[in-house]
Amino acid sequence: MSNRVTEKRGPSRRHVLVAGTAALAMPYIRPSWAAEGPIKMGMVIPFTGATGAYGPEMEKAAKLAVKSINDAGGLLGGRKLELYIEDSETIPTAGAAATKKLIEVNDVNSVIGYWGSPIAMASKQLLIDAKKVMMVSCAANAVTEEDHGGLIWRFQAKSTQWGPVGAKILEQRGYKKVSVLAQQNPFIVSMIDPFVEQVEKAGGTIVDNVTYLPEQPSYRAEVEKVFGANPDAVFVPGLLTDFTSIMKEVYRGGFDSKVCSLSLAADSNGRFLEAVGPEVAEGIDHFQPAPPIESPSYKAFVKAMGAPEGTVFLFAGNAFDQVWTAALAMEKAGTDEAAVWTEAIPAVANPPGALEQDGLKCLEMIRNGEDVAYVGAGADCDFNDNGDQLNRHFLHQVIRDGKNEYVQTLS
């Protein structure tokens, strides 16, 4: 596994947490500056495989944050942040191998990124055993459910929060007879029961609930079973490659049921439309946790990324926030020792500190002994005691005439 990129040295109301008051009261520890050399951070993201569309934008966002920090003098008395980036290949074993390399060869104090729950699940124990911080942009509940000693932080909505959003979209469309055709993986499986519960709570009926294995040569049997029952709509949570194959089968079969999916499958930075064409994609509803697109922090991020106003980066903001949250926590703790600075994350992210979106201003405030609550590009960056991010919003879009149209933002 090769090292892809190395950065060498040289407006919603935020939720105030009651728990974790000891961490929030953590004082600023003035560093002794005993340590020297760069502060090493790793990153595992996909550049190839089913989710490879999102790696480049996450890479660009992380490097943007690193450059801002280094150009302003670095951390902990002038130490530069050095970033090592590895390709997960959208394969759990490859992601774990990348993580192992970052820990053992590059000697990083943390690893960020982790787009994809199977990748994170295959890697988390390596980081826990090494006492390194892990920051993920994935949704499977299991990533943070077991004890991790405060080392894992989720910059994403949990998958159990996704299911009810899909059900609400179908309810709003007036669909009562609903089926599920879902990929078998820990991220997606966790959202199915909450989806079913919400459909039934709203007076709907589940006609079929079918799971399939990824990377099958054909999905014809599953499509014929689920769509052949003629439900009003089918919820099809999966990834780009399998969803592409499924929708081609649906189109060839002439089935009329409407489809709701995840944006990571039905959009994937335009790759789905490129693969199937507008006729196959027409009318598909899709949704995804999204940044606060009208907030000043997100608008500033889009501008810094050099993108047109209104561009929706579903995951790049998470990577940007991971770098900044780690940097602020290290500065607050006065050390790059992972087991120590991880305890400072609530103190720089959650209220009651002053809300501030500019990371450099946050650093200045911390150095001046002031309390700060970083407002991220991807989300508010508030966390509960388990390391799960709070207050995420979902962007609902529909494909019309070969384009994604904004429908609504849901919470």
Mean pLDDT over all residues of the chain? 91
User: Cβ distance 82 to 10 under 8 Å?
Assistant: no
Over residues 179-190, mean pLDDT: 92
From residue 229, alpha-carbon distances to 223, 224, 238, 243, 280 in Å are 10, 8, 20, 19, 20
pLDDT for the residue numbered 174: 98
Confidence bin at 10 (pLDDT 50/70/90): very low
Write the single-letter amino acid at 42: G
- For 255-264, what is each residue's pLDDT tens digit? 999 999 999 8
Percent of the chain with pLDDT over 90: 81
How far apart CA 342 and CA 86 sit, in angstroms, is 22
Query: Taking 90 as the threshold, does the pLDDT of residue 132 lie above it?
Result: yes
Query: Taking 90 as the threshold, does the pLDDT of residue 194 lie above it?
Result: yes
Confidence bin at 6 (pLDDT 50/70/90): very low
Query: Taking 70 as the threshold, does the pLDDT of residue 28 lie above it?
Result: no
Over residues 373-377, mean pLDDT: 96
Decide which of 268 and 71 is more confident. 71
How far apart CA 135 and CA 155 sit, in angstroms, is 7
Residue 248 φ then ψ, to 5°: -65, -40
Over residues 10-35, mean pLDDT: 40
pTM above 0.75, yes or no: yes
pLDDT for the residue numbered 378: 93
User: Cβ distance 374 to 328 under 8 Å?
Assistant: yes
Domain 5-158+295-374 has CATH 1.20.1090.10: no
pLDDT for the residue numbered 21: 30
pLDDT for the residue numbered 51: 85
pLDDT for the residue numbered 36: 80
From residue 300, alpha-carbon distances to 58, 297, 305 in Å are 16, 5, 9
How far apart CA 210 and CA 181 sit, in angstroms, is 5
Query: Taking 80 as the threshold, does the pLDDT of residue 101 lie above it?
Result: yes
Answer yes or no: same fold for 5-158+295-374 and 159-289+393-410: yes
User: Cβ distance 347 to 24 under 8 Å?
Assistant: yes
pLDDT for the residue numbered 24: 39
- For 322-352, what is each residue's pLDDT tens digit? 999 999 999 999 999 999 999 999 999 999 9
Task: Specify the CATH number for 159-289+393-410; select among 3.90.1150.10, 3.40.50.2300, 3.40.50.300, 1.10.10.10.
Answer: 3.40.50.2300
What residue segments make up the domains of the chain, in order of their start? 5-158+295-374, 159-289+393-410
Confidence bin at 35 (pLDDT 50/70/90): low
